[in-house]
């Protein structure tokens, strides 16, 4: 069964600290993996996209890694800011002839002053 | 910067009524999607649409749902007879092309549907 599991469910960190969010998936065949940031009540906003051949991608203070062999990804946030408080969602697309897209449940990040 | 827009932002309806949720995708995009997110739960794929037809749909997208691109700009989701469990945030998304690094989907702000 195609699944995307994220950990932790929630995380509280102090402003300025770094953190790493995890994503494990079983989607096969694999097309690409995306990380989104979703503020409460808003649509998801894309942070990074990685295909099979890419193992790291950065977007400002966000760095995503991908290990397609172990089917794991991580999102590292550097020097967190209060505005980073949001849900971070891992999304995996498999090429099933229609680009089925599986969303993880997200990690809820709280950044405290 | 171009963005996906959705109207209305919030729709309240009575159970059994029909609702139409509207989306205007980014103008040069070719692939369109609807997702829903029940409060506190994960985003779920409903349907994808390309070249004026459904390309894929999930088991959630039953006969009560339909999609349409009535003109060159709008993309709509119709729920024929709403149920209480249809209450959710509905997101529209679009992307320019298929495959690889060009598979980025841009999401709209969502329509919150409340069925009473």
Q: What is the mean pLDDT of chain A?
A: 91
Strand partners, A46: A36
**pLDDT greater than 50 at residue B100:** no
Q: What is the mean pLDDT of chain B?
A: 90
**pLDDT greater than 90 at residue B16:** yes
Q: How far is A87 from chain B (nearest CA, A)?
A: 11
Q: Do B55 and A98 touch (CB under 8 A)?
A: yes
Separation CA B114–CA B85 (nearest Å)? 9
Out of B56, B89, B109, the one facing A98 most closely (by C-beta) is B56
Residue B101 is predicted with a pLDDT of 46
Q: Where are the beta strands (DSSP E) in chain A?
A: 4-7, 10-14, 19-25, 30-38, 45-51, 56-59, 62-67, 72-77, 86-94, 100-103, 107-112
**pLDDT greater than 70 at residue B64:** yes
The token duo for B14 is 């009575």
Q: Are B35 and B75 in contact (CB under 8 A)?
A: no
The token duo for B2 is 């171009």
pLDDT, tens digit (0-9, with 9 covering 90-100), for B87-99: 999 999 998 876 5
What does the angle CA B34 – CA B91 – CA B14 come to, to the nearest 5 degrees? 95
Separation CA B30–CA B22 (nearest Å)? 17
Out of B43, B100, B101, the one facing A103 most closely (by C-beta) is B43
Separation CA A22–CA A31 (nearest Å)? 19
pLDDT, tens digit (0-9, with 9 covering 90-100), for A82-99: 999 999 999 998 765 445
Instruction: Find the mean pLDDT for residues A53-73.
Output: 94
Residues of A in contact with B49 (CB under 8 A): none
């Amino acid at each position: 069964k195609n699944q995307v599991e994220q950990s932790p469910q929630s995380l509280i960190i102090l402003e300025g600290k770094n953190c790493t969010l995890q994503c494990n998936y079983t989607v096969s065949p694999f097309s690409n993996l995306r990380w989104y940031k979703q503020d409460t009540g808003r649509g998801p906003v894309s942070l990074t996209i990685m295909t099979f051949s890419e193992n790291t991608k950065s977007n400002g203070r966000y760095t995503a890694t991908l290990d397609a062999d172990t089917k794991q990804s991580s999102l590292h946030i550097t020097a967190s800011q209060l505005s980073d408080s949001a849900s971070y969602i891992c999304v995996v697309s498999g090429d099933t002839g229609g680009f089925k897209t599986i969303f993880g449940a997200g990690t809820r990040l709280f950044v405290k002053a | 910067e171009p963005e996906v827009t959705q109207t209305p932002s919030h729709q309240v309806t009575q159970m059994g009524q029909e609702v139409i949720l509207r989306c205007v995708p980014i103008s040069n995009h070719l692939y369109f999607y609807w997702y829903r997110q029940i409060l506190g739960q994960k985003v779920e794929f409903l349907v994808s649409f390309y070249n004026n037809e459904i390309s894929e749909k999930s088991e959630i997208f039953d006969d009560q749902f339909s999609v349409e691109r009535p003109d060159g700009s709008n993309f709509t989701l119709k729920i024929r007879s709403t149920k209480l469990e249809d209450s959710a945030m509905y997101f529209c998304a679009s992307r320019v092309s298929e495959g690889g690094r060009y598979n980025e989907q841009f999401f709209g702000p969502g329509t919150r549907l409340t069925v009473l």
